[in-house]
Amino acid sequence: MSILRFKVVEEAFKKKAIDVQAPAKCMSEFYGKYVFSYSVMKKYLSKDTINIIKDAVEKGCTLDRSVADHVAAGMKLWAMELGATHYTHWFQPLTDGTAQKHDSFIDYVDGPGENITEEFSGKLLAQQEPDASSFPSGGIRSTFEARGYTAWDPSSPAFVMDDTLCIPTIFISYTGESLDLKAPLLKALNAIDKAACDVCHYFDPHVKKVSSFLGWEQEYFLVDEGFYAIRPDLLLTGRTLLGHESAKNQQLEDHYFGSIPTRVTAYMKDLEFEAYKYGIPLKTRHNEVAPNQFELAPIYNETNLSIDQNLLIMLLMKKVARRHGFRVLLHEKPFAGINGSGKHCNWSIGTDTGVELLTPGKTPEENLRFITFLINTLMAVYKYNGLLKASISSASNVHRLGAHEAPPAIISAFLGTQINDILDNMEKSTTEKIIILDKKKKLRLGIAHIPEVMLDNTDRNRTSPFAFTGNRFEFRAVGSSANCSSAMTALNAAVAAQLTDFKASVDAKIEKGEAKEKAIMDVLKVYIKMSKPIRFEGNGYSQAWKEEAQKRGLDCETSVPDIFKAYTSEETVNMFVSTGVLSRKELEARNEVKWETYTKKIQIEARVLGDLTINHVIPTATRYQSLLLDNVCKIKSVYPAEKSEELSAMNASLVEDIAKHVKAVKSNVNAMIEARKVANKITDEYQKAVAYHDNVVPYFEVIRYHADKLELIVDDEMWSLPKYRELLFIR
């Protein structure tokens, strides 16, 4: 086996960068080529139809059948010109990733016979019934109604991938329960639109729509595909379950500042061209901190669209990587001991009148509005910090949180000194001092002027899970492999609920005769005090912070199955119900899926770890041990007793070391299997996940410790698994 590892090293070393050429001289010639965007529609649909779609998207209503028929006909024509022969409803099941079932356009002309035609009607565009019984639903489908259907989301454009027309859809049960991640997201976006619009009307009665924006930053690792193929743990779990640290990893920080390796540059270029064809505006690419770790980021977009683009780019990343002899690792922690990967979600909200609500303004009125949205966001993060943590938690992201550069497993918000000073001043001053209305009822704000660009990079706190960065919040705790819908649904719904509460409090004061500005300021002052526990500017890794956070009453739970419970707390259920995003039943069913997924992931990892140690590590170590023993015996047969004792002492002790580690690996693997057997008998999904977390996971570290020790002892030539230095430095 060892021969294979060296063969792979040799081959990987020889690989050269692929020559990547731009599809055309001018980017505009191919940008959005595969997307049925409004500008493409112009060629295939009438102006009226396009306007009806635009209107439906804006108002969030459905299209009637005759319009859908028109759209379908145009879409089919366009897709077939690009070589499409099939279509699919592209949806986001509760497991991460996307799902699709391809159907061909073909159909009989007049019933069964010889003649076929290409068919794609409005009915097929608008609704589909995938055989979805194997998608997890947490019992919703068995409880309510056996069938679910996918329904077209016209706010995210259809696209052609390979030979298939892909139509972004939501996935719901016949009784209306969401079975996916997109349906609740759309409801949350609707909720924040309405709630934020109402609050905007304090400042500008002309605002008709508030949109939520998202700019994600996708981190990832690349490994040569040869190594990937002979690391069963990478292949099956997306992360290394074993492997001793490389002597050199990220200590010198030379990767982050270094130039991008040529094979990787070719990959990035190729990926960018591919992304542009799908209308994904990739803007940034660079090396990340860990060796072989990289990042890409597009220009931000409306949240629903941005999420679909992220899901699409994750597919493209994998696809393009194959062309370059790489495999892309989207797992949050593929390698122990070095940085993991996140998907920072830059979030902001803005109006149809062009106002960015989280950007400081030039006038006191604008700044009162800015402060209003900023403080309400803080309040939402404070009230629902447990939920926000649950929204980013998973069996894989847990390895990253609280380690190296990643934020800790406690949600707090970082504001930077300037904003903090402003809030502190507001808290200390009387409302009369802050709000001064002169004789002409002109508003004067007694708070310090807020410069537009407040924060430079030095003021950034990389350890904060939720940081204000001048015109947006950066939710950094989101994991690299996640569908950011979960996080964005929780955040937008929470802020929507908070803005609604705020409006009610302010309106009550106005009704009692208080001036609007004073009423707003009075409520904000209360919020500043209340939300104080969520504000934290210090080092999130420190033990001191963990103790402090506990005292402040923030959610400090670290066990993933228990973290999910925040989804069904009374406050969360009320919040989701009041915003119309998710019902109690849906929340409960979704948690069942989360626990089940958690259990399955740990179960798979445990099996792979067992196989790897029993089939690779122990046999290799034993073979090496035999060689050592052989050597000891030979020394003893050649040299006199005293001399041979001295000469064989080291190898004899290595033989014992190996025996010790092998025994530890074996007995712990056996114990882990026993723990799994016990856990598997539990029928309650929550209890089962807890059993896996409490009784199975702890073995991973012990087993790994001894296996990694064996890696250090055993002759390098005999070791069959690619080592960290090869996975991380050969490209």
Contact 648, 632 (CB under 8 A): yes
Q: Furthest-apart CA pair in the chain: how many Å?
A: 110
d(CA 637, CA 197): 90
Considering only 76-84, 218-226, 343-351, 707-715, which stretch makes contact with ligand ADP by CB under 6 A?
343-351
> What residue is closest to Mg ion based on CB?
217
Pair of tokens at residue 55: 């209107």
For residue 184, the minimal CB distance to ligand ADP (Å) is 21
Within 289-318, the residues that bind ligand ADP by CB under 6 A are 297-300
Which parts of 443-533 fold into alpha helices (H)? 485-511, 516-530
Q: Does 376 bind ligand ADP (CB under 6 A)?
A: no
Residue number, 272 or 685, with CB nearest to ligand ADP: 272
Q: Where are the beta strands (DSSP E) in 264-367?
A: 282-287, 293-298, 301-302, 326-329, 343-351
Among Mg ion, ligand ADP, none, what does residue 471 contact (CB within 5–8 Å per kind)?
Answer: ligand ADP
Number of residues that bind Mg ion (CB under 5 A): 1
d(CA 38, CA 476): 33
Question: Which of 365, 358, 367 is closest to 450 using CA atoms?
Answer: 367
Residue number, 215 or 610, with CB nearest to ligand ADP: 215
For residue 303, the minimal CB distance to ligand ADP (Å) is 9
Q: If DSSP codes are grouped into helix, strand and coil, which group holds residue 403?
A: coil
Candidates 472, 525, 704, 709: give the one binding ligand ADP (CB under 6 A). Answer: 472
Which parts of 84-238 fold into alpha helices (H)? 122-126, 140-143, 182-200, 225-229, 232-237
Q: Does 288 bind Mg ion (CB under 5 A)?
A: no
Residue number, 370 or 686, with CB nearest to ligand ADP: 370
d(CA 412, CA 372): 19
Q: Does 217 bind ligand ADP (CB under 6 A)?
A: yes
Considering only 167-175, 213-221, 355-363, 497-505, which stretch makes contact with Mg ion by CB under 5 A?
213-221
For residue 300, the minimal CB distance to ligand ADP (Å) is 3
Candidates 88, 150, 249, 348: give the one binding ligand ADP (CB under 6 A). Answer: 348
Candidates 122, 130, 215, 361: give the one binding ligand ADP (CB under 6 A). Answer: 215
d(CA 165, CA 160): 4
Window 158-197: contact mask with Mg ion (x via CB under 5 A): ----------------------------------------
Identify the helix (H) or strand (E) that includes residue 715: none
Candidates 471, 485, 498, 572: give the one binding ligand ADP (CB under 6 A). Answer: 471
For residue 349, the minimal CB distance to ligand ADP (Å) is 8
Residue 497, number of CB atoms within 10 A of its CB: 27
Q: β-strands 282-287, 326-329: how paired?
A: unpaired
Pair of tokens at residue 381: 């993060």
CA distances from 281 to 202, 243, 298, 301 (A): 35, 37, 5, 9
Among ligand ADP, Mg ion, none, what does residue 502 contact (CB within 5–8 Å per kind)?
Answer: none
Window 215-234: contact mask with Mg ion (x via CB under 5 A): --x-----------------
Among Mg ion, ligand ADP, none, what does residue 98 contact (CB within 5–8 Å per kind)?
Answer: none
For residue 462, the minimal CB distance to ligand ADP (Å) is 10
Residue number, 217 or 517, with CB nearest to Mg ion: 217
Q: If DSSP codes are grouped into helix, strand and coil, which group holds residue 341?
A: coil
* Cα torsion through 385, 388, 390, 394, rounded to 10: -130
Residue ranges that bind ligand ADP, judged by CB under 6 A: 213, 215, 217, 284, 297-300, 346-348, 356, 471-472
What residues make contact with Mg ion under the rule CB under 5 A?
Answer: 217
